[in-house]
Amino acid sequence: MNFFEKTQERLIRYAKINTRSDVRQQTIPSTAIQLDLLRLLEEELKEIGMEEVEFNEKNAFVTATLPANTDKDVPTIGFIAHVDTADFNSENVQPQIVENYDGKDIVLNEAEGIVMKTADFPNMLPYVSQTLITTDGTTLLGADDKSGIAEIVTAMEYLINHPEIEHGKVRVAFGPDEEIGRGADHFDVDHFDAKFAYTMDGGPVGELEYESFNAAAANLTITGKNIHPGTAKGKMINAITIMNDFINHLPANEVPEETEGREGFYHIGDVEGTVDHVTLSMIIRDFDRDSFEKRKAFVEEIVNDINSKYPSQPIELELFDQYYNMADIIQNDMASVELAHAAMEALGIEPIIVPIRGGTDGSKISFMGVPTPNIFAGGENMHGRYEFVAVESMVKATEVIIEIIKRNINN
């Protein structure tokens, strides 16, 4: 099987299907369009020969089984990826293929003057001479996480076509709404029935991640009082001014654009409003649990302080946890990480163990009882018009999946 052609074809085909999720909707999945790819995958898994292919109406996960072909006592392992894409234009995705990349700027859309420049994205340079799949500059690509899906399906197809490769039982799952932090909320770990699993949802080649943020979300609703500005003294309550007061209380340097590594942050992602009414949505992230709790308490303290200045108590705060650092679970049994580490080294890939500065279904699934570290899927500049992935990276990720399954027989 030609992994290069298979992964490239699959990613492009999947990428063209709009699967954007929507945090404002409470349905499962949050958008019906995600079902287009989920149902396609259900049929494709059957076509390549997977068994126990099922679509779960309750959680919108497609699951399937690669049966064991050995009598040895081998632990069942799983591979997971998500179908939804992030909060960026995903209508009419038109992937472009850049063969034998020459290390120069890439014109994504000549008509609109959209160029992906190496000066802005030096992470392009390691991919010289490789084949890149990019956007046309007007949408995201969706390699997060459709590259992971392509890799898993291609690996399963290869193993089905090569029964001489001895392996244990393998479970796969493709689900919705990871980008809005809800995809794994109803994941059925008992039905999945794996000792441990991997999300194929990381970035560049070699990434192996078992540490994630502790994560919370905060939604503020600010109620003002709009009075004609000419007669507003002593009467107007400007919700926008109150919002600014809240923002100014947050540490200016503890934001995503000023932090890295294991540094936590506050991130305001959406604001809408008028003098009379403002809504603000933000996320809170930290790797250390104690620091995480202090960050949440600090937000509550700011809200209480501002409310104390007004008889009307103008700010209503909704604060809730989203997921926790999966290292708290995985570090108690590192077998899954050690297996992936050994598989990468066997393939000549240097494992890059870094903390995930983002979310992953693996965080929630780990706390449900299935340790689930994250492995690279190859994507770069994800969630926007400058997203790209090298086909060579997808090939290596596919090979890692197969090597993990092969090595699990003797693990």
Task: Give the catalytic positions in this structure.
Answer: 84, 178
Q: What's the one-letter identity of residue 378?
A: G
Return all residues near 40 (Cβ < 8 A) that are at least 6 apart. 17
Q: What is the C-alpha separation between 108 and 137, in angstroms, rounded? A: 5
Q: What is the C-alpha separation between 193 and 369, in angstroms, rounded? A: 10
- Beta-strand pair 374-376/207-209: antiparallel
- DSSP strands (E only) in 245-404: 265-273, 277-286, 315-323, 352-353, 374-376, 379-380, 388-390
Q: What is the C-alpha separation between 349 and 284, in angstroms, rounded? A: 34
- Beta-strand pair 388-390/379-380: antiparallel
Rounded to 5°, angle at Cα 34 from 29 and 35: 85
Establish whether the linkage from the previous residue to 328 is cis, with ω within 30° of 0: no
